[in-house]
């Protein structure tokens, strides 16, 4: 109890720290005013950690909520891409070296009963919801909780297949959440859970790890744009972005109507934020704070103008590490954590601060090791940033500890959509026109031209997102589309839960389903179409996939290991 004894012997006007509670300052103690209101000095990061952990808890909660609501339908035993089949393929691939399997595909599901995959997916999601809820509410955690959250989400992502990745690259927000979550493990005490643990100050290596993360995110996004699409160089990309982004929202419609001079200004601002502002991080404190403010404002604008899952919410997190306690003190009432930080700073000024413990010395060794590992894993990332063949959203290690990022290296100039249509006409010849075709509506992707674009961020509909990619590919490249069509032919409840409207929910399922390819454009604000209630105007491009029935796809499903859906005559309304 040397720390307590030292406080008792010093005549600095402080109340004694109660014995047995020297890891957290007593809430009942008061800080001496010394003739002025106590303030927080710059340079400490106790409050920063609280804000950061609460924010990370929110993002984790959203991510696990998405998993709990959609993973069985997408990845379950009867999902569109069953993860039990995926795990069997992994078993076969690593049959001669089981230990390599866990290193290349780190997931707890490798050690579970594959016949109960739905229950295991639910268990991962619910455990993640519980732990992230604790983090969000209390603003504190320990290394055990943070490590468990990271392992749980890793376990989902690594069996997520196309729903969590695209073209063999993990989606940007998934790798970014895993990297953010990994660094957060080292923010916290090993076991104890205190908002202001005086023997576990916020590690500088983690603070700079997050600053390095936001630097890579923004520089990566800026460089891929400059090297990629010509429209970023001639300042015309924003003429198309709002209309052609994966899932527009209502504000996207109005921002698309802006004059071209404003779109050019937006593009220039984007280049400034992504290519210039990140370098403020290595400059003195006022520049770092300016960098944090600009980065957060930039992400807020992106949140307002589109539905990019929790990506922009997540990107705010490393920017928080640009602020110290003095910058964030206004977020806290003059009690509890804020008082504790003031007391710690006053004790430190008086020379009565806590002495280094053996545990703190051990942590310092591990922090040095963490810094060395981050530096080593950053080598291929830096090489990628400097390369003329820069890759976006790529991981160079299977644990995705340090990744490379980038977004919208090219901008789609025209929006196309795949529209699912079904008919009960049993006499229709599949390759001929005829019959009454009714449209399925998805939750957020454009369909009915009169339907208002949705507001869903930070939540995420994974099926809607992948439908955007599928629209500028073909169905042969996306076999899950035919699996979805087969399930809709059977009125499969799991499949219909993934969409907003099933025209055949209250009766006989359709006999045929087809995919039609349409071009979509925003209507002009104030135009005749807009006044009539149309958000979109569309024109047919052609057929995306021909009319199919269950008999026609039986062998196709079998070749992929998928079960033929059982026809449901009537669904619950």
pLDDT (tens place) for every residue of the chain, 573 residues total: 343 344 344 333 333 333 334 454 544 444 444 445 678 999 999 999 999 999 999 999 999 999 999 999 999 999 999 999 999 999 998 877 667 888 889 999 999 999 999 999 999 999 999 999 999 999 999 999 999 999 999 999 999 999 998 654 556 899 999 999 999 999 999 999 999 998 899 999 999 999 999 999 999 999 999 999 999 999 999 999 999 999 999 999 999 999 999 999 999 999 999 999 999 999 999 999 999 999 999 999 999 999 999 999 999 999 999 999 999 999 998 878 999 999 999 988 888 777 778 888 899 999 999 999 999 999 999 999 999 999 988 889 889 999 999 989 899 999 999 999 999 987 765 545 556 899 999 999 999 999 999 999 999 999 999 999 999 999 999 999 999 999 999 999 999 999 999 999 888 899 999 999 999 999 999 999 999 999 999 999 999 999 999 999 999 999 999 999 988 765 554
- Paired with 538 in beta bridges are 520
Mean pLDDT, all residues of the chain: 90
Q: Are 76 and 378 in contact (CB under 8 A)?
A: no
In whole angstroms, what is the distance from residue 119 CA to residue 116 CA?
6
Percent of the chain with pLDDT over 90: 79
In whole angstroms, what is the distance from residue 116 CA to residue 112 CA?
8
Cα of first residue to Cα of last residue in the chain, in angstroms, is: 67
For residue 247, give the nearest of 303, 178, 173, 295 by alpha carbon.
303
pLDDT at 507: 80
pTM of whole model > 0.75? yes
Q: Are 393 and 170 in contact (CB under 8 A)?
A: yes
| Residues whose CB is less than 8 angstroms from the CB of residue 139 and which lie 6 or more positions away in sequence, other chains included | 50, 51, 53, 54, 57, 195, 337
Percent of the chain with pLDDT over 70: 89
In whole angstroms, what is the distance from residue 217 CA to residue 477 CA?
29
Q: Token pair 């704070």 is at which residue?
A: 289
């Amino acid at each position: 109890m040397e720390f307590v004894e030292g406080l008792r012997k010093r005549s600095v006007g402080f109340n004694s720290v109660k014995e047995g509670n020297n890891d957290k300052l007593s809430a009942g103690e008061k800080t001496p005013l010394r003739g002025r209101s106590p303030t927080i000095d710059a340079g400490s990061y106790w409050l920063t950690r609280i804000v950061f952990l609460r924010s990370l808890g929110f993002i984790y909660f959203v991510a696990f909520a998405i998993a709990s609501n959609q993973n069985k339908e997408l990845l379950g035993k009867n999902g569109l891409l069953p993860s039990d089949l995926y795990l069997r393929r992994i078993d076969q691939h690593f049959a001669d070296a089981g230990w390599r399997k866990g290193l290349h595909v780190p997931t707890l599901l490798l050690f579970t009963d594959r016949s109960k995959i739905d229950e295991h997916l639910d268990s991962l999601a619910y455990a993640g919801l519980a732990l992230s809820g604790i983090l969000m509410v209390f603003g504190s955690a320990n290394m055990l909780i943070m490590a468990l959250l990271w392992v749980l989400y890793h376990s989902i992502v690594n069996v997520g297949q196309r729903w969590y990745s695209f073209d063999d690259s993990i989606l940007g927000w998934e790798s970014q959440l895993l990297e953010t979550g990994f660094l957060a493990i080292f923010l916290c005490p090993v076991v104890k859970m205190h908002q202001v643990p005086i023997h576990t100050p916020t590690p500088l290596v983690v603070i700079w790890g997050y600053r390095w993360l936001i630097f890579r995110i923004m520089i990566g996004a800026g460089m891929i744009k400059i090297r990629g699409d010509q429209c970023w160089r001639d300042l015309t990309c924003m003429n198309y972005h709002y209309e052609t982004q994966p899932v527009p929202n209502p504000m996207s419609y109005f921002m698309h109507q802006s004059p071209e001079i404003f779109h050019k200004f937006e593009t220039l601002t984007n280049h400034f934020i992504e290519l210039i502002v990140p370098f403020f991080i290595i400059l003195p404190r006022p520049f770092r704070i300016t960098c944090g403010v600009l980065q957060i404002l930039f992400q807020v604008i992106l949140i307002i103008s589109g539905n990019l899952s929790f990506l922009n919410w997540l990107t705010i997190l490393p920017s928080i590490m640009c602020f110290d306690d003095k910058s964030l003190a206004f977020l806290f009432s003059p009690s509890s954590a804020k008082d504790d930080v003031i007391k710690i700073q006053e004790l430190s000024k008086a020379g009565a601060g806590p002495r280094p413990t053996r545990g703190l010395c051990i942590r310092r060794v591990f922090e040095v090791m963490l810094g060395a590992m981050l530096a080593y894993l950053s080598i291929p990332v830096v090489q990628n940033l400097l390369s003329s063949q820069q890759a976006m959203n790529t991981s160079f290690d299977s644990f995705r500890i340090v990744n490379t990022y980038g977004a919208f290296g090219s901008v789609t100039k025209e929006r196309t959509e795949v529209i699912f249509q079904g008919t009960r006409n049993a006499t229709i010849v599949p390759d001929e026109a005829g019959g009454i075709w009714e449209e399925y509506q998805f939750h957020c992707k454009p369909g009915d031209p009169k339907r208002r674009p949705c507001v869903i961020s930070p939540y995420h509909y994974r099926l809607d997102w992948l439908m955007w990619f599928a629209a500028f590919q073909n169905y042969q490249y996306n076999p899950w589309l035919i699996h979805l069509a087969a399930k809709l032919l059977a009125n499969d409840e799991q499949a219909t839960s993934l969409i907003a409207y099933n025209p055949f929910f209250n009766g006989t399922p359709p006999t045929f389903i087809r995919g039609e390819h349409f071009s979509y454009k925003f209507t002009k604000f104030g135009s005749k179409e807009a006044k009539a209630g149309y958000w979109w105007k569309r024109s047919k491009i052609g057929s995306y996939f021909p009319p199919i029935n269950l008999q026609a796809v039986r062998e196709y499903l079998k070749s992929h290991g998928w079960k033929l859906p059982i026809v449901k005559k009537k669904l619950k309304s």
